[in-house]
Structure 1
Amino acid sequence: MLRPGEDLLHVEDRLWLLTAPTGQGIYDFAFDRFFACRHPYQLPESLEVIARAGAWNDYAERYRELEGQGVRLVHSPEQHLLATELPHWYPRLTDLTPRSVWFDERPDAETVERQLGWPVFMKGERQTSRHKKSLSIIEGPEQFRQAMEVYAKDPILHWQRVVCRELRPLRRVEEGAPDRIPSSFEFRTFWWRGELVGWGPYWWQGSPYTMTEAEQREALGLGREVARRLAVPFLVVDLAQEVSGRWIVIECNDGQESGYAGVSPFALWRNILEMERARAVPRSY
């Protein structure tokens, strides 16, 4: 049932997790150092688990494998796609995020120019390639053609559909390295069953930045609306502020696969556990 390196944990007798180390500090978290964790010898006949084992390229297959053993991942394959891939979540959020188009085959420059004009922000349907500016912020047709040559060979991008987005003027935090997307006033938010359980700066390694109370109300209100519209159990929403002050959705992700960025993992899981305890308490009438 479990693949090499994977482990099943029952955390605080409230939450089942399927974990595996990835070697990425932004993602891994030692649950048993901060919470009471058990490794039961005998499992219930069926249980729902959150996976924190990195990104699976075969999520639907893994879901079916585990389901056959009575272990049900918190997201069905359909929910996973809705949370993760822009062509699935974008139609529900068109008024909250930059205009976007995507292509089953790598497009030519003329097609992109006709649909969006220049410049554009380009990415795979799930992610960029290590935030490289030269592969993301495309100023014109010649740069686009060069980027497409790299996309065909890039280990992160070659298997993803190409997404082109309207390039919006975002509030800058810092420029960063020469070939890295400039850091914007962007925040990662985690939502568990529609409720906020953690937020923090997306560009957590650079110059520190945070939101005022008024900005929190507006940005997190937008995140809550996204969580309502997508209605999946464990959602990540990345939000950024334009220079005009308007907040927009940058992207969505499955919380099972997402790195913490500037979010405290301890606080995040403590909040989820508290919600699960509250759900388990019988109501008196």
Structure 2
Amino acid sequence: MIVLVPGDPLRPRRPDEHFAAEADAARAAGLDVAVVDHDALATPDGARRAVARVPEGTGTAVYRGWMLPAGHYPAFAAALAARGVTLRTGPGQYRQAHELPGWYPALAAVTPASAWTTGDDRDGFDRAAATLGPGPAVLRDYTKSMKHHWHEAAYIPDLADTAAAWTVASRFRELRDDDFTGGFVLRRFEPFGTAEVRTWWRGGACRLIGPHPDTPHDAPPAGLDLSTVAPLVAALDLPFVTVDLALRTDGEWRVIELGDGQVSDRPSTVDPGTFVTAVL
């Protein structure tokens, strides 16, 4: 297997500094490592140029890098396939894990109730709000929230106040700008009493439990019970994902997010060697 990481923009033959430690750990574990040009991947026709430094015929690949729009991933996979390299996560699997509408139905029982739109028009937003019903909600798009702009672009105190809700949505859309993905997603607000925990899953089994990258020094609790979540994640049949959880104030663990493991950040407090051994 070969691990693909973004190249340093100034020294393109070397891994980007953010992923250099993982690249070193992968080599130490006996894995091949190659760099790709992430800037080229982010353009509609740059995939072949992006993978030019990947050795031909090297078999199965796992990408560990910056987030890619799901619409760009098929070209990435096709450019690698032309060089005899197959991404372990296929384009359909990547979209399913990367965008909330892909994974939500399978995890609906263990995650906040959600409704979403296709596109960013007001009518669709109002229909999604009516589907979820009155009460507080958290806003995001298919891939990301603006939780660091909580009161202006994430938290909606009451969806029944349609004008105020649309003000939050408009500000969210403005801040996301060209990165806005898919449509608006409204999620029922639930009160949580702990920092999030990031769990890493390979082949449908949890391989590593650690803190969330936003709170790297908040260690996860010992004996985290994943018995309810595990069969639901396994049933998705996705090769490499992360599942972020938090403890609701009533004592129930809830899924906050599922993401593709290739583009999920490793917390700074998780040793790169431990990480590579566990998940790659």
AA paired with 1:198? Answer: L
Whether 2:162 is the aligned partner of 1:147: answer no
Whether 2:82 is the aligned partner of 1:60: answer no
Whether 2:244 is the aligned partner of 1:238: answer yes
Alpha-carbon distance, 1:131 to partner: 3.5
TM-score by length of 2: 0.75
Structure 1 residues 156 and 124: alpha-carbon distance in aligned structure 2, compared to 1, 3 A threshold: farther
Choose from 117, 133, 145 the match for 1:128: 145
Alpha-carbon distance, 1:44 to partner: 6.4
Alpha-carbon distance, 1:169 to partner: 1.8
Higher helix share: 2
Choose from 63, 71, 81 the match for 2:85: 71
1:186-244 Cα shifts (integer Å, max 9, x gaps)? 2001111122222212155476343132xx1x1x3344223312111111111111111
Whether 2:39 is the aligned partner of 1:29: answer no
In the alignment, what sits opposite 2:60? 48
Alpha-carbon distance, 1:269 to partner: 0.7
In the alignment, what sits opposite 2:195? 185
Q: In the comparison of the two structures, how many residue pairs are matched?
A: 242
CA RMSD of aligned residues (A): 2.8
Give yes or no for contact 1:151–1:157 (8 Å, CA) kept in 2: no
Give yes or no for contact 1:20–1:54 (8 Å, CA) kept in 2: yes
In the aligned structure 1, how far is the partner of 2:246 from the partner of 2:275? 20
Gaps of 5+ in 1: 1-14, 172-183, 274-285
Alpha-carbon distance, 1:33 to partner: 5.5
In the alignment, what sits opposite 1:114? 130
TM-score by length of 1: 0.74
Give yes or no for contact 2:56–2:83 (8 Å, CA) kept in 1: no
Structure 1 residues 221 and 130: alpha-carbon distance in aligned structure 2, compared to 1, 3 A threshold: same
In the aligned structure 1, how far is the partner of 2:33 from the partner of 2:104? 39
In the aligned structure 2, how far is the partner of 1:37 from the partner of 1:159? 34
Give yes or no for contact 1:82–1:89 (8 Å, CA) kept in 2: yes
Give yes or no for contact 1:199–1:263 (8 Å, CA) kept in 2: no
In the aligned structure 2, how far is the partner of 1:74 from the partner of 1:37? 15
In the alignment, what sits opposite 2:275? 268
In the alignment, what sits opposite 1:88? 102
Task: State, as a whole percentage, how many aligned pairs show the same letter.
Answer: 24
State the secondary structure of the residue aligned to 1:243: coil
State the secondary structure of the residue aligned to 1:188: strand
Structure 1 residues 152 and 186: alpha-carbon distance in aligned structure 2, compared to 1, 3 A threshold: closer
Structure 1 residues 32 and 50: alpha-carbon distance in aligned structure 2, compared to 1, 3 A threshold: same
Give yes or no for contact 2:146–2:172 (8 Å, CA) kept in 1: no
In the aligned structure 2, how far is the partner of 1:239 from the partner of 1:84? 16
1:233-256 Cα shifts (integer Å, max 9, x gaps)? 111111111111111111111101
AA paired with 2:182? Answer: Q
Segment drifting more, 152-161 vs 258-267:
152-161
Give yes or no for contact 1:192–1:234 (8 Å, CA) kept in 2: yes
In the aligned structure 2, how far is the partner of 1:69 from the partner of 1:126? 30
State the secondary structure of the residue aligned to 1:91: helix
Give yes or no for contact 1:223–1:237 (8 Å, CA) kept in 2: no
In the alignment, what sits opposite 1:5? none
Gaps of 5+ in 2: 9-15, 35-52
